[in-house]
Amino acid sequence: MKTEFDGRWSELGREAMKEVKQWRLSHPKASLEEIEQALDGPLGRLRARMLEDLAQASEATQFNEQTAERPRCPQCNEELISRGQQVRELETAHAQRLRLDRTYASCPRCGAGLFPPG
Ligand SMILES: [Zn+2]
């Protein structure tokens, strides 16, 4: 695992909290329900950035032919071959986009193509 993947979290957290505070100051009569909804945007963005960083913390998401221990095929346990970096885009809660940089891989034995998990 990488260990320094949380470097920008404090700053992102402060930005999200500042945004929520400013929203509250300009909506003094907001209901509890409206306040809850106003939290979802900034915290949803923070959640998505943290999810990206957590997903990419695993060394298994990036490898090439020089990597000592390459991920193995889930079907036949053969070491996988890198087919280069690809951006995988997904959508998560609160309609937030995730962009994950991962190595796409294929298996030289059975021909399976996959993003190695982990
Ligand atoms: Zn295989």
Q: Which residues contact 13 (CB under 8 A, 6 or more apart)?
A: 46
Distance 2 CA to ligand 1 centre (A): 27
Distance 29 CA to ligand 1 centre (A): 60
CB atoms within 10 A of CB 63: 20
Distance 70 CA to ligand 1 centre (A): 13
Distance 33 CA to ligand 1 centre (A): 51
Residue with tokens 């940089």: 101
pLDDT interval class at 20 (50, 70, 90) = very high
Q: For 48-81, what is each residue's pLDDT tens digit?
A: 999 999 988 887 788 888 888 889 999 999 999 9
Mean pLDDT of the region 12-38:
96
What is the per-residue pLDDT for 1? Answer: 83
Mean pLDDT of the region 25-52:
95
Mean pLDDT of the region 93-105:
90
Distance 18 CA to ligand 1 centre (A): 49
What is the per-residue pLDDT for 98? Answer: 92
